[in-house]
């Protein structure tokens, strides 16, 4: 049985406090709200989510339509969405999510992991270049000493 709207409101308020989400239109605040809205969409209606977040149902629909692009191009959104999914899973209780929801959640986790691996790969490339540069310098010094 899914949690009540009051419980959703409590979780959203806690989420807002943790991430210091302001009631303005700055991108980080909008992305944080959108991530929560899309995650909550699995269990709650657009009107219920709108009431909880202090927005209207059209904003929730817009958040849902923007979700794929946000996931693809904004790594901070991805992390917020994964955190929001965890919150919604907790609120879900014993209800089983739809297959589409499970795939969406899994896709977001995979995207986050892919971004982390890309960052790690860039760091390793930089390290390899630095080591190559050092080896060339050492070879040059060795040749000069002969």
Domain boundaries, the chain: 5-145
Give the pLDDT score at 140.
84
Give the pLDDT score at 100.
75
Maximum Cα–Cα distance across the chain: 80
Neighbour count for residue 122 (Cβ, 10 Å):
10
pLDDT tens digits for range 51-103: 999 999 999 999 999 999 998 888 899 999 999 998 998 888 766 667 777 78
Give the pLDDT score at 39.
94
Give the pLDDT score at 80.
94
Positive or negative: CA dihedral 96, 77, 12, 51: negative
Give the pLDDT score at 26.
96
Q: For the whole model, what pTM was predicted?
A: 0.70
Residues, the chain? 146
């Amino acid at each position: 049985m899914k949690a009540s709207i009051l419980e959703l409101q409590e979780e959203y308020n806690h989420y807002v406090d943790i991430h210091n989400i302001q009631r303005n239109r700055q991108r980080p605040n909008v992305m944080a709200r959108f991530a929560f809205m899309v995650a909550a969409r699995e269990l709650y209606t657009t009107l219920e989510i709108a009431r909880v977040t202090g927005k209207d149902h059209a904003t929730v629909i817009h958040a849902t339509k923007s979700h794929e692009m946000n996931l693809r191009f904004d790594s901070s959104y991805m992390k917020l969405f994964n955190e929001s999914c965890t919150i919604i899973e907790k609120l879900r209780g014993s209800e089983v999510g739809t297959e589409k929801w499970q795939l969406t959640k899994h896709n977001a986790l995979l995207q986050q992991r892919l971004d982390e691996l890309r960052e790690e790969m860039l760091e390793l490339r930089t390290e390899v270049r630095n080591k190559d540069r050092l080896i060339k310098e050492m070879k040059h010094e060795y040749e000069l000493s002969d």
